[in-house]
Amino acid sequence: MKQYPVTQAVRSLRTGKIDFIPHLYRYEEHGGTHQAASILNVPEHEVIKTLVMEVDSRWQLLVLMHGDREVSTKKLACELGVKRVSPCGPISAEKHTGYKVGGISPFGTRKSLPVCVESSIMMLDRIFINGGKQGFMVEIDPCDLEKVLPIKKVNVAV
């Protein structure tokens, strides 16, 4: 493996003593999880996207979702017991996480944010999730998520 970037996410994983396998790939604007899965030769279902959401225009949270699924914001609002959940814009997402869109990781965010994880992610053997830089994924055991993140399991995939 070539040298990989030591991002805040990598530092957070190391601090939490989480084993990970780094994967660098050629990042393509708007390529998304489909492109990452294709280059890494893994199912898109195992590539996890980190989405920054806003609750009732008052506070932010992260949602971890399978690459081949979308988030039902209506179901998420219901599960959280709030009126409305909507995606943050790129500027707001970068401000709250400290990461550039396309490279947002749930690990080592600038501000500690609650993390909702689609519950079926926890049933996978392994996941590929952003390592804090565009074109950089880390492969981990999904059970390690709850060792380093304040997660809440949800069922909001569509």
pTM higher than 0.85, yes or no?
yes
- Give pLDDT, residue 150: 92
Do 139 and 18 touch, CB atoms closer than 8 A? Answer: no
Confidence band for 2, pLDDT divided at 50, 70 and 90: low
Percent of the chain with pLDDT over 70: 99
Residues in the chain: 158
- Give pLDDT, residue 29: 87
CA angle, residues 117, 146, 9, in degrees to nearest 5? 85
- Give pLDDT, residue 114: 95
Do 39 and 60 touch, CB atoms closer than 8 A? Answer: no
Confidence band for 64, pLDDT divided at 50, 70 and 90: very high
For range 88-110, the mean pLDDT: 95
pLDDT digits (tens, 9 = 90+) for 34-55: 999 999 999 999 999 999 999 9
Confidence band for 57, pLDDT divided at 50, 70 and 90: confident
Q: Which domains does the chain have, with CATH numbers?
A: 8-154 (3.90.960.10)
Residue 103 has pLDDT above 60, yes or no: yes
pLDDT digits (tens, 9 = 90+) for 119-154: 999 999 999 999 999 999 999 999 999 999 999 999
Dihedral sign of CA atoms 31, 92, 54, 147 in order: positive
Neighbours of 60 (CB within 10 A): 18
Q: How far apart are CA 34 and CA 42, in angstroms?
A: 10
Instruction: Please tell me which residue, 33 or 57, carries the higher pLDDT value.
Output: 33
Do 116 and 156 touch, CB atoms closer than 8 A? Answer: yes
Confidence band for 58, pLDDT divided at 50, 70 and 90: confident
